[in-house]
Amino acid sequence: MTTLNPVVLEHEAATPPPKRKTFKNFTFDRVSLFVVFLGLPLALYAIFVVSPFVQAVGYSFTNWSGFSPNMDFVGLDNYQRLLNDELFHKAFRNNVLLAIVLPLVIVVLSLALATMITVAGRSVGEVKGLKGAGFYRVISFFPYAIPAIVVGIMWGQIFDPSGGLVNGILTGLGFEQFQSFPWLGDRDTAMPVTMFIMVWGFIGFYMILFIAAIKGIPGEIYEAARLDGAGRFRTAWSITLPLIRENVQTAYIYLGIMALDAYVYMMALNPFGGPDNSTLVMPQYLMTTAFERSQFGVACAMGVVMGLLTGVFATIVFTVNRLTGGKDQVTMA
């Protein structure tokens, strides 16, 4: 028969039972922390982001004119109208083209410039960038510091057919066929020129973004790759890119959203959609439909389509990133 130690029994009797968690644990400090850093941002997001989008979805099922409180429910008629609108199809294709080309070109060029400025210097000794990297960094970022509308107006003057700098230089070099050539007024060149201007305006910012990411990679990794005989391209592909993969993904999504908008640049360069609507984008057509035709219901349907297209683009980027290896994978061969 087991005997109980009286000292142990006395200790257990003196030990109070564990307290149950009650609402008293929600102190003022904890509650105020949740309210200020979680509740307030969520409330602002719901009021200024979620609520307008929900209202736009609701208006897209009506024939609201935008200037009258009266509206009738029309169901999916506005969306059916968009399916049969050739001009909207043209604007949709232009936005998709921008979303395919611009993020790819800007990310590749920005990453190449960032690599040269940070780790593409001398082949011996400490890993450094090109000589004068600070000067290149400032010059490259300068276009992003200029407002988009100013960039559009400036380049519109540069590509002006009568007194523009581009035609003047080409004509001076003996290319007489470019005298008075309408770069932004020709169907074949309007969109490529517009893309070039947008790339020029954004490449500096994303170069700085990638520079900051590359600076966070330990230099020992690059030195080890150099000792293993890895060349510059191999180092960039197998070390730099995998280690800043999440930064590239974020940049790609933001650039896709910019490309699916592109309203400011298009309005500055070709406010009426360009020749044969070759540069017309959905935001331009949306504004025309809403404020010139007073068809806010149809315009809201366009906005819903733009929102869904943005979500699809982000989903594709996330999916491709996951299928191609996830994050932080370094491969050396």
Residue type, 164: G
- Higher pLDDT: 324 or 102? It is 102
Residue-wise pLDDT tens digits, 168-190: 999 999 888 888 899 999 999 99
| Cα(73)–Cα(25) distance, integer angstroms | 50
Q: Report the length, in residues, of the chain.
A: 333
User: How far apart are alpha carbons 214 and 230 in whole angstroms?
Assistant: 17
Mean pLDDT of 218-244: 85
Q: Which amino acid, residue 272?
A: F
Cβ atoms of 184 and 159 within 8 Å: the answer is yes
Q: What is the pLDDT of residues 263-284, one digit of tens each?
A: 999 999 999 899 999 999 999 9
Average pLDDT of span 278-299:
94
Domains of the chain: 86-323 (1.10.3720.10)
Tell me the whole-structure pTM to 2 decimals: 0.82
Q: What is the pLDDT of residue 22?
A: 47
pLDDT of residue 99: 94
Which residues are CB-contacts of 164 (< 8 A; sequence separation ≥ 6)?
157, 158, 183
List of residues 6+ apart from 183 with CB closer than 8 A = 159, 161, 164, 166, 167, 189, 190, 193
How high is the pLDDT of residue 303? 94
pLDDT of residue 239: 87
DSSP code for 244? T
Q: Which tokens belong to 94?
A: 């232009």
